[in-house]
A and B are shown apart, each in its own frame.
Chain A
Amino acid sequence: MYNLPNILISTVFVFFCAFPVFAAGGKTLIPPTDFEAYDTPSDNGKGVSLRWPASPSESIDTEYVVFVSRNIDAPFVTEALRINSQTMYEDNSDFKYHYAEIDPENILRKSSAQNNQIRKKEKYYFKLAITSGSSIVETGKLASALPKSDWFDWKKLNNFVLMISFVALVLFFINHARKSPNLFIRKISGLDAIDEALGRATEMGKPALFVHGLNGMGSISTIAAVNILGKIAFRIAEYDTTLKVANIDPIVMSVSQEVVKESYMEAGRPDAYVEDNIFLAASEQFPYVAAVSGIMVREKPATNFFMGYFYAESLILAETGANTGAIQIAATDSYTQLPFFITTCDYTLIGEELYAASAYLSREPLLLGSLRAQDIGKGILIVALVVGTILTTLGVGFVSYLFMAG
């Protein structure tokens, strides 16, 4: 089935091969002594790995060329790879071996302009040559490989083990917390301030203002914020002060109404609950800012709570609040806004402290359990980091190898 040009090219090839050692600018090219091809491990069945030892004639103007063919007898005309001889060394081989992964089917298809999508499972043959200028010298050995698909990527074993252990941790601790909801959580310092702030509001006879942030009920930050709101409302009912909650999302508003109402009932003060105090301030970011700032300036609440997920509005709200002289307590996991809360509020719960506070107050097993599981996950990573760095310093790469990303 050979067509004419192929025969021509192969003849040229035979001609080259007849003179294996060519003089290139007075330099003799020595081909690599060995050449191997094998199915790339842990891949999708497309790749073939090629590996060969470095040749002594490597230089900047020398290149390696690999030819590929479907047939051992067919001429090797399609270039599968052409690299500078001083590149693509195998990792950790100390420049002694070259390594490359190629997709032979893709290369052959492109060269023959075929575009059928079906891949045949067949063996590929490879020939390696070293070239410089017009001279080319081939390695005597032909290599062949049959690519095949694999069902597990062994390079990702550590990832898999981590995932499975973390699944086990989360499920175990959530179950554990359901049985014994007294899992220890450290004190969150900002939380003590809540009582103090509410006490002051009572003394001054001024309301406390609670702001949720912009996110809807789907966000964990808002859920945590609503949990804390429930506890604040309980205290408020006991102290007999007014609580105002400014919302931007109608669903968050109705959930907040429920939560606050429940807390008032729990505190035995259902009569003190006023539904209109939990209201929709506006529906867009900046009108919301304007509305809430207006409330702050007009009513001068003694205490402002900013809890949930905040965006750019945080700065304006916290600034206005600080200038009305209110005690401000913030809790957010939006790290970009935290700097502004820290510099304008009296107490700020940072990042995950928001979730921890909500778990601490609500004692919800779901939150407690997963918090504990995450802590253990962090603990493992802390130990790995410290031990791994010490070992690396001592020249032992064991831990860093275990945690290498595949």
Chain B
Amino acid sequence: MKKSRDVYILFSTLILFFLVNIFYLSMGWLDFWGKGLGIVTGAAFTLAMYSFLYKDNPVFKIAENLFVGVAMGYWIIITWFNILKPDVFETILVPIFKETGTPPQFTILIPTLLGMFMLLRFSKKLAWMSRWSFAFIVGLGSGITIPNFIHAFILKQLTFDSLIAPSIPVSINNFLVLLGVVSVLIYFFFSVEHKGVVGGISIIGVWFLMIAFGASFGYTVMARMSLLIGRIQFLIRDWLGLIQ
């Protein structure tokens, strides 16, 4: 009974969507061969995604799977044109067979080979070769992380602002910042039981954390609402033309 109602809703929505588009196209409000077809496609995908709000349904699943596929395809093609083609194909392969004015850079063979080894992760027999590539990348990443993080996120973040500033509000704020940083660090200190003074400071740390999470909460609500506003703007401006 319930299922048949869902099917009914699904089909009437689809029919309504087609009717609206046919109406718009025939009235010339949407220009089919120009941007019109693209806008209709975009509106279709937007509405298909929102159909999840009613409940998980086939239209949403088809749209989502198509999207996942397209995004992967786009990633592959962009990687070809932006990385593999200029950095590998045109620096090694092309100069070997064609006079391009620059000799082939054979040193690039090393990362190319390591890159190909990486793909052996899926082979049962040769998976161990992929470890060389991962070791290279992960070792490199770890090595550059350590000193740069110490510099940018520890030394630069330790600010020693005087607690006696020219104005009282600034002094109070400087004190609160110090208290906040120290108490939060103490909250994440696991080698001492949170009792007595340490316990007290760690409770202050929790307050600071909660205010900060409140700020994040507010901002996240703002972010999601902004995304929705953008999509509704698309629907009623670009598709339906209700606003300019």
A contacts B: CB pair < 8 Å: yes
Residue numbers of A with Cβ under 8 A of B are 156, 158-160, 162-163, 183-187, 284, 286-287, 290, 294, 335-336, 338-340, 342-343, 350-353, 356, 371-372, 375-376, 378-379, 381-382, 384-386, 388-393, 397, 399-400, 403-406
Contact B56 A290 (CB under 8 A): yes
Size bracket of the B interface: 35 or more
Contact B147 A388 (CB under 8 A): no
Is B97's CB within 8 Å of the partner chain A?
Answer: no
Chain B interface, DSSP helix/strand/loop, else mixed:
helix
**Distance of A28 Cα from B130 Cα, bound (Å):** 73
A contact residues around B185 at 8 Å (CB): 378, 381-382
**Distance of A404 Cα from B155 Cα, bound (Å):** 6
Q: State how many angstroms separate the Cβ of A248 from the closest Cβ of chain B.
A: 13
Contact B191 A382 (CB under 8 A): no
Q: State how many angstroms separate the Cβ of B71 from the closest Cβ of chain A.
A: 11
Is B189's CB within 8 Å of the partner chain A?
Answer: yes
Task: Name the one of A183, A187, A371, A389 contacting B193, with C-beta atoms under 8 angstroms.
Answer: A187
Q: State how many angstroms separate the Cβ of B70 from the closest Cβ of chain A.
A: 13
**Distance of A290 Cα from B57 Cα, bound (Å):** 10
Segment of B14-22, B24-32, B37-45, B211-219 engaged in the interface with chain A? B211-219
Contact B52 A286 (CB under 8 A): yes
Q: Which of B60, B160, B164, B214 has the most CB of A within 10 A?
A: B160
Contact A186 B150 (CB under 8 A): no
Is B209's CB within 8 Å of the partner chain A?
Answer: yes
Q: A159-B155, A384-B158, A405-B152 are in contact. List 10 more A-B contacts (CB 8 A).
A: A286-B64, A287-B64, A290-B56, A336-B220, A339-B216, A351-B188, A385-B178, A388-B160, A393-B162, A400-B158
Contact A379 B189 (CB under 8 A): yes
Is B210's CB within 8 Å of the partner chain A?
Answer: yes
Knowing A159-B155, A163-B150, A284-B68, the reply to whether A378 touches B188 (Cβ < 8 A) is yes
A contact residues around B163 at 8 Å (CB): 389-390, 393
B contact residues around A372 at 8 Å (CB): 191
Q: State how many angstroms separate the Cβ of B59 from the closest Cβ of chain A.
A: 13
Question: Mind listing 25 A-B residue pairs with CB under 8 Å?
Answer: A160-B147, A163-B147, A163-B150, A183-B191, A185-B190, A185-B191, A187-B193, A284-B64, A286-B52, A287-B61, A290-B56, A336-B216, A338-B216, A340-B220, A353-B188, A371-B191, A372-B191, A381-B158, A382-B185, A382-B186, A385-B158, A386-B182, A388-B160, A403-B158, A405-B156
Contact B190 A375 (CB under 8 A): yes
**Distance of A156 Cα from B154 Cα, bound (Å):** 13
B contact residues around A342 at 8 Å (CB): 210, 213
Is B161's CB within 8 Å of the partner chain A?
Answer: yes
Contact B178 A340 (CB under 8 A): no
**Distance of A67 Cα from B146 Cα, bound (Å):** 41
Task: Name the one of A159, A340, A350, A384 contacting B150, with C-beta atoms under 8 angstroms.
Answer: A159
Contact B160 A400 (CB under 8 A): yes
What 3 A-B pairs come out closest when comparing CB atoms?
A339-B217, A405-B155, A290-B56
Nearest B-chain residue to A312, judged by Cβ: B224
Is B76's CB within 8 Å of the partner chain A?
Answer: no
